[in-house]
Amino acid sequence: MSRVVVLGGNGEMGGAVTDVLRGRGHDVLPVSRATGVDAVTGAGLDGALSRADTVVDCLNHLTLSRRAAVSFFGGAAARVADAAGRTGVAHVVCLSIVNAADDGVRRVMGYYEGKAAQEEAYTAGAVPVTLARTTAWFSLAETFLRQVRVGPVAFVPGMRLRPVHPAAAAAFLADAVEAGPRTGHGADVWQLAGPEEHDAAAMARALAGARHPGVKVVRLPLPVAALREGLLPRGEVEVDDRRFADWLAGA
């Protein structure tokens, strides 16, 4: 049994991994600004981390601004890494995105530059880190329907993805906690993807058809290859075989 602090513990994935870890018998403390812990300013961080063997970072700040993303993700990760070193935390698991740190991808979208800064800050920190990268979750289709919206019309980029079931992402993070830190130099990198390629706009259209009748999806073709296909996984990646269509049907 480990003592685990989940940063962003009331968010979508923070809540899901908290449930999975508790189900596996771990002692889990979910924290966020709602519980008095601010990873950006550092308020409450040392107190929360002083009871932890492992920290799972599920923080998020949705922004398209490069500067805001780097300041949030890079700044919070540097603070958390420092606090983890001071308080004797043995392992940090950072939830990240497959390919976000690739040059071509981070250059064209500010949010990914933030995720890259987060990975770099943890990798430079004193506490061993596992970068647990997943592809987009099926539930991201809900975000696509909300993000760029004019009345009933949602504009969604024509981006190719290999999305994965959110429950698989939560189990993957819990597996990374239980595996513990890798001995040796540098970050341990884990990657998870789903079984099939999908177009983001087609996912959003399917979700609208199933759950949001009246919402119309307009696909925005992307001229930049790094955006169009840059998030497709390459190299070593674990695959969960649950399909988007089954998730959509509620299976």
Site residues (CB under 6 A) for ligand NAP? 7-8, 10-14, 32-34, 37-40, 58-61, 95, 97, 115, 134, 136-137, 140
Rounded to the nearest 5 degrees, what angle is found at the Cα of 78, between the Cα atoms of 184 and 55? 65
Rounded to the nearest 5 degrees, what angle is found at the Cα of 190, between the Cα atoms of 188 and 196? 165
CB of 58 to ligand NAP, least distance (A): 5
Q: CA-CA distance, 23 to 52, in Å (whole number)? A: 18
CB of 30 to ligand NAP, least distance (A): 8
CB of 134 to ligand NAP, least distance (A): 4
Q: How far apart, in Å, do the first and last CA atoms of the chain sit?
A: 31
Chain position whose Cβ is nearest to ligand NAP: 11
- Dihedral sign, Cα of residue 124, residue 118, residue 86, residue 40: positive
**Residue nearer to ligand NAP on the CB measure, 185 or 236:** 236
**Residue nearer to ligand NAP on the CB measure, 162 or 213:** 162
**Residue nearer to ligand NAP on the CB measure, 12 or 113:** 12
**Residue nearer to ligand NAP on the CB measure, 5 or 208:** 5
DSSP 23-50: HTT-EEEEESGGGT--TTT-TTHHHHHT
CB of 182 to ligand NAP, least distance (A): 20
Beta-carbon contacts of residue 103 (< 8 Å; ≥ 6 apart): none
